Structure 1
């Protein structure tokens, strides 16, 4: 589990590294290994690529250096010329640091805070840099970036309950799969499994869209409402929840299955399994299951299912457990 907000010193280190790579990529003795190392560095964090591009733009405006992709071999410079170029480059980089950070922030390109959180085998409570509170379910991961015009969370996997600090001028955006949830201050839960997303609103209001590339802010949810969608859906499905809704039972370490068909229950169960449980066919998928389970003990549930359901277990070629329905015998005449 990790939690990290970039400090001013770390931002400076990123810019220093960008300066180093700018100099090396334009050097005639830059090796293939160095270029590969640069690509790895650039992909390691969003700020790496931004700082590098910002410095290139400054140099191009100054007319000192071409872009690396268009750079052409030049005759070796005399030592004095090389050191003079090195000095100019270093000076430009020093000037680029405040300019790149200031410009990037004001244009809404660069966050002034970045955090990464994971929860593995226990529920985790975290505080975002804007003061919002997040509760992470087992096996969950998200990132938070604070931009000038919005606060942005990306839920990479799992489930999270949000208590968002109110700020009408600084909306809070949660991205999950292809969808987006937009709020200014409220309490809500987001569940993500593969390409399926479910949003439960507890307090306040949120706008939900199933496709982040569509125009508009999406559909509005009020308290005790739920939105479901998956990849490819044009609009989320909206429904009402009730006082006995059990979708937040995970916060107490429980998974409640309220007489659900296996087709609906397995995505809820599989989030906690090391090997996803499958069904052999549509008749097996229609078998219903209920009960209250400890989320930390769901791996043992798989082996017990043949004792409580009319199914037997097999394994597919990938080693996944597969539920197969037991054919019912025809009644004797």
Structure 2
């Protein structure tokens, strides 16, 4: 038997309670009894879980607000949330955190006036952001978009995205990826994040790339046909030229092109499409080269077919990862 639809007032009451629990769980004086009461509240209705998770997400977006300590909550299907509903939750949080924020959060640049969340699994997806910019999301990707008074902000949480950004000199477009960021005013570029590394390919216009979010200065400037990469601990991005035959954007057509790459270089490109990463046993295996064009939706079948086309065999490590091992070459008889 399903529960009857809740009224707007009842939804608001749940949002207020979720904001309250975010505050209390973050407070230094939060007692064990309060934490137990929170668990009971969480179990009382499925909507309590989704509203509390939404509240934590708003804390992520509003970076100037304190973030509560993470509390494990059961994974449940959240009900669809309209944009006005999300902003209402944000306003509730701000009203509880800072007295003036309920009406000045936008003007002070603390809170966005629009917020979007997108995620892909097994399909490339084309989306339109609130500012009219277009984004293509690769398989297994996730991002959020927030429109602040003085800038537009995307957080790429995982995967890869191609951006066609609407030009607005006075309202820059910032993509946060791993520990760095990319700042543009209107251009086309691709951002790929794998583990702790980020690669940026600029197609047209210009972009400023920083490997550290709060790095002094504007970052390194990219021009058309240039790329930058950075990872954890890099003080500055590494910049290089994109070659005319570059195939890194073939994913937009559903393809992965491996152009005679060593397995060590090919595995990051393959693993972004696999649930369980493929590994190599040693450097000699990693030096074996692979080529070809593959459907990005069928990369799992590539793993099992590699021993048929390369001098390798498959094993699994203790974590369950498939591991490629090179077949020893026999010495010719003298």
TM-score normalized by structure 1?
Answer: 0.77
Shift of 1:44: 4.6
Question: Is 1:162 equivalent to 2:187 in the alignment?
Answer: no
Q: Distance in 1 between matches of 2:248 and 2:304?
A: 24
Aligned partner of 1:73 in structure 2 is none
Secondary structure of the 2:154 match is strand
Q: Distance in 2 between matches of 1:212 and 1:325?
A: 41
Q: What are the within-5 Å matches in structure 2 for residues 135-284 of structure 1?
A: 135-284=136-285
Aligned partner of 1:55 in structure 2 is 96
Q: Distance in 1 between matches of 2:174 and 2:332?
A: 58
Aligned partner of 2:121 in structure 1 is 120
Shift of 1:21: 3.3
Q: Distance in 1 between matches of 2:225 and 2:97?
A: 51
Shift of 1:34: 3.9
Q: Distance in 1 between matches of 2:232 and 2:111?
A: 28
Contact 1:208 1:220 in 2 (8 A): yes
Unaligned runs of 5+ in 1: 1-8, 59-98
TM-score normalized by structure 2?
Answer: 0.77
Q: Distance in 1 between matches of 2:271 and 2:19?
A: 46
Question: Is 1:326 equivalent to 2:327 in the alignment?
Answer: yes
Q: Distance in 2 between matches of 1:247 and 1:44?
A: 31
Secondary structure of the 1:45 match is helix
Aligned partner of 2:104 in structure 1 is 103
Aligned partner of 1:310 in structure 2 is 311
Contact 1:18 1:52 in 2 (8 A): no
Q: Distance in 1 between matches of 2:96 and 2:195?
A: 38
Structure 1 residues 314 and 204, CA, compared in 2 at 3 Å: closer, same or farther? same
Contact 2:91 2:102 in 1 (8 A): no
Q: Distance in 1 between matches of 2:318 and 2:57?
A: 35
Q: Distance in 2 between matches of 1:303 and 1:180?
A: 37
Q: Distance in 1 between matches of 2:281 and 2:15?
A: 56
Secondary structure of the 1:111 match is coil
CA deviation profile, 1:234-282 (whole Å, cap 9, x unmatched): 2211111122110110011000011111111101000111211001111
Larger Rg: 1
Shift of 1:32: 4.3
Structure 1 residues 35 and 49, CA, compared in 2 at 3 Å: closer, same or farther? farther
Structure 1 residues 20 and 182, CA, compared in 2 at 3 Å: closer, same or farther? closer
Secondary structure of the 1:258 match is strand
Unaligned runs of 5+ in 2: 1-7, 25-32, 43-47, 63-88
Higher relative contact order (CA 8 A, sep 6+): 1
Secondary structure of the 1:21 match is helix
Alignment size in residue pairs: 280
